Chain A
């Protein structure tokens, strides 16, 4: 049984109303070419070229990377290396707006004969349209499908949980585009030959589950189900979700895969572990992007994201073009009403700190939050008081206290023996620790060192 916590959702402010607003196009965007985990793309435009919205500006470098498209029409003003929020640095293409917002005519119109596409054509289209799994992991979708297709899949799981507070982009997307999401799911289901599709929704999205159920009923797709789970953290994360909904324990597979291929990142291991058990998992934003790419001929150059937090004057969900600078987006939400303690990309449990607002929107940017100091202020760290709360709450059923004590002494083999590879980085150990120890960071530190082959230092 997974022990859970109740986090205050704080989702109402950005969900009122359930629409995703389109932002005013900015004067300039800076689009990073590194949009997948370990791979960058090669620019196919040069400075001074004129580009239109949706035009390819970078080609995939290898089978693991994806194409990148312009999110603004205008002139290429620069191609240079800039800081990247997730990967340190990346080559970015700067586009200055011509204020015309020129698009290709075919974008947004139904592709003739799309239903007759072969598997290879669909995967090629995914790569050409720059599709990735739209989570922080940035896993190229065609690569993920290739891994999934190595085994027989019986169930496709579509994740509409949004386990973290504040984040509501998927909620708004599901309310505004339910049929498109179902069609996207059907494309993926056929692609991986799954028998059934299960939408997993947290019960704070009651209207989403009802809407999807009604659409499924009218479409008469009997192999589609909607499963509701309680709004408790971390039930909405993949591993606890699989345990609570399907009674599947992924932890042994995650450890085994980690020992076979230490270089594999957590999303790759999770995909493989799921596939071994006959499941495939995608986030709802990815499913929508699949529909847009295959049916509506629209490459992935913008995404739905949430602007929220107590410090943001006007919380809302927006369509954010890639490369849109965070400072411009915040301006669109009428700025901050007071100085935020932390600005985060992603949710407060798993998200990343944004050190300055010159970073651009990525395919992984599902939210931008401005949280007040009183909420995020870290208290002084104390010595571990061995209360055992981290062990009680750990959804991966490992012993974070022993792992972190070993990691502090750089005893990485010891950390491995205590099962650090099973950590799913939910952050619950740090959340519950009364001694305010940086447990999640120490776990990541141990995993990072183990991936680099270090045992003890």
Chain B
């Protein structure tokens, strides 16, 4: 009988594991949470709490249904709940925040078999669900105080081809938008921790943001607005490079970023929505199984492969 647990080597192991990685990712979100609370005060605390309660209850309920043990210490529900909350506007009704958090874990994570078993990011799927279900409320962004414009800079651009925020305002976070995505500074601080701890590489966010800004620029959208406005930066740092929706092979990951960036830009240009990042990444993540096969390493040189 082949014993999969104890039969053989190696007996050494790298000093990192999924749980510690998840907690490091949560730590990387701290600057973003801090600035979200700074900008939106009690509204941010309320929404963060309610989404997290929804996510935890979703986990407890789904684990109860599947007779599995709930383990909050794994940090998965906390990580995903925080990501979803930070992608929501500070004015979104609390009931919708709760629904988003609850359904994200129940439908988009646990029904697929648990963490890392789903075909796309549960956060993206839940956000898309909220966008489709509540299209008005989800784009009703409350602005931080002392903001230059009450309108989301992308929407402003779509309406009249201008935006009023300076580069510094966009970088620090003085712009209308969802709670966690407005401050590029906070995203950079969090992203730096992920890079230092080797939880992600610089390559994927760099390719995504580069291609996205470039394609946007080609159809006349300002380069700096692509980089520092909207939720592109947040998604590129915290969602794009990590999770089961990412292809395994390095070249496939590059192609995945290119596809996501081009789709985001095209959706932004030609659709009703003025920010296409969520849609672009969501569609690209659905292509991951195909990308994994496409970039299966060509090791057979001349030998026909059964599935090719």
Contacts and interface: CB of A to CB of B under 8 A. Distances in A.
A417 B17 CA distance: 29
A401 B252 CA distance: 14
Interface stretch (B5-13, B219-227, B267-275): B5-13
A177 interface: no
Nearest to B74: A382
Interface of A: 5, 7, 165, 251-252, 255-256, 259, 342, 344, 346-353, 371, 375-376, 378-379, 382-388, 390-392, 396-399, 401-402, 413, 416-419, 422, 427-428, 430-436, 438, 440-442, 444-445, 448
A401 B248 contact: yes
B66 interface: no
B224 to A, nearest CB: 32
30 contacts: A5-B14, A255-B300, A348-B9, A348-B12, A349-B10, A352-B8, A353-B8, A353-B9, A379-B17, A382-B17, A382-B18, A382-B19, A385-B115, A386-B244, A398-B297, A399-B296, A402-B248, A402-B292, A418-B296, A419-B296, A419-B300, A422-B299, A427-B9, A430-B9, A431-B14, A435-B17, A435-B18, A438-B4, A440-B8, A444-B2
Interface in B1-41: 2-14, 16-19, 21
Interface centre among A346, A382, A392, A396 (most CB of B within 10 A): A382
The 4 lowest CB-CB distance pairs between A and B, nearest first, are: A427-B10, A388-B248, A252-B301, A382-B18
A434 B110 CA distance: 21
A271 B7 CA distance: 26
Number of chain B interface residues as a range: 35 or more
Interface of B: 2-14, 16-19, 21, 113-117, 242-250, 253, 292, 296-297, 299-303, 305-307
B249 A399 contact: yes
A428 to B, nearest CB: 8
Given A352-B9, A444-B2, 11 more contacts: A349-B12, A376-B11, A386-B244, A386-B245, A397-B299, A399-B248, A402-B296, A413-B306, A417-B307, A434-B14, A436-B17
Nearest to B243: A386
Contacts of A385: 18, 21, 115-116, 243-244
Nearest to B295: A399
B9 A440 contact: yes
Nearest to A429: B10
A392 B297 contact: no
Given A431-B13, A431-B14, A383 B249 contact: no
Contacts of A383: 113-117
B116 to A, nearest CB: 5
B17 A399 contact: no
A7 B12 contact: yes
A350 B14 contact: no
B303 A353 contact: no
A397 B306 contact: no
Contacts of B19: 382
B303 A256 contact: yes
A416 B299 CA distance: 12
B242 to A, nearest CB: 8
Contacts of B4: 438, 441-442, 445
A388 B246 contact: yes
A384 B243 CA distance: 10
A251 B299 contact: yes
B249 A417 contact: no
A348 B244 contact: no
Given A392-B250, A399-B249, A417 B305 contact: yes
B297 A350 contact: no
B160 to A, nearest CB: 43
Given A382-B18, A385-B18, A398 B299 contact: yes
Contact of A431 (B10, B247, B302): B10
B9 A350 contact: yes
